[in-house]
Amino acid sequence: MSNRNNKEYINAHGELKNPRVLAVDRSMLSEASQRSAFLPETYTTRIEHCIGCGVIELFTAEEQKQWYEKLKNYIFATRSRCKSCQKNWKRLKREISEFPKTLRDDCTLEDLEKMLAALIEYDSLSETVRSDIALFNRIYKKINEIEGRMNVPLNSSPLFKRLGLVHD
């Protein structure tokens, strides 16, 4: 981890020393934030773990000010992904939104497996697991049709292994 500010650093016990503190400008918060009871007075640099890759990053007071006052995120929403995972998550979200349209056309086995892999990666970067089970099942059903199988549970399918879902 890089120290972005000499005055903010993490000691050997994983504690943040001398976190930077900035005042909250309530008039700049989103309307939903402003309606909240118990608004914080200040932003304090804090340590966050990325839910995607587990990397530990500082969410600095400056970044929080930007996050809540410029980007208008809800004041109690926290940044849950590092920059690189956030970028991947957005890309996957965009790709996945096209899947229902793509599925109406003829897809190859390879296309379908790539779709499932994208859904699995997207879930690993999301706060909630298996965000679109209906879409997942639609793709999986098509794969079974192509491979000439009927209603094979995913975990006893060779696909389960190909997608890297087996951890033994």
Enumerate binding residues for Zn ion (CB under 5 A).
Answer: 50, 52-53, 55, 82, 85
**Residue whose tokens read 């007071």:** 61
Dump the DSSP string for 91-157: HHHHHHHTHHHHHTS---HHHHHHHHHHHHHHHHTSSSSSTTHHHHHHHHHHHHHHTT--S--GGGS
| Residue 51 or 135 with smaller CB distance to Zn ion | 51
Q: Please, what is the minimum distance in Å from the beta carbon of residue 127 to Zn ion?
A: 13
Here the tokens at position 149 are 């199988």
| Residue 18 or 84 with smaller CB distance to Zn ion | 84
Q: Please, what is the minimum distance in Å from the beta carbon of residue 125 to Zn ion?
A: 8
**Distances in whole angstroms, Cα of residue 79 to Cα of each of 4, 21, 104, 130, 146:** 18, 17, 35, 20, 41
| Residue 55 or 118 with smaller CB distance to Zn ion | 55
DSSP label at 7? T
Beta-carbon count within 10 A of 64 CB: 23
DSSP label at 163? T
Q: Please, what is the minimum distance in Å from the beta carbon of residue 13 to Zn ion?
A: 23
Q: Please, what is the minimum distance in Å from the beta carbon of residue 145 to Zn ion?
A: 36
Q: Please, what is the minimum distance in Å from the beta carbon of residue 73 to Zn ion?
A: 18
| Residue 50 or 107 with smaller CB distance to Zn ion | 50
| Residue 51 or 103 with smaller CB distance to Zn ion | 51
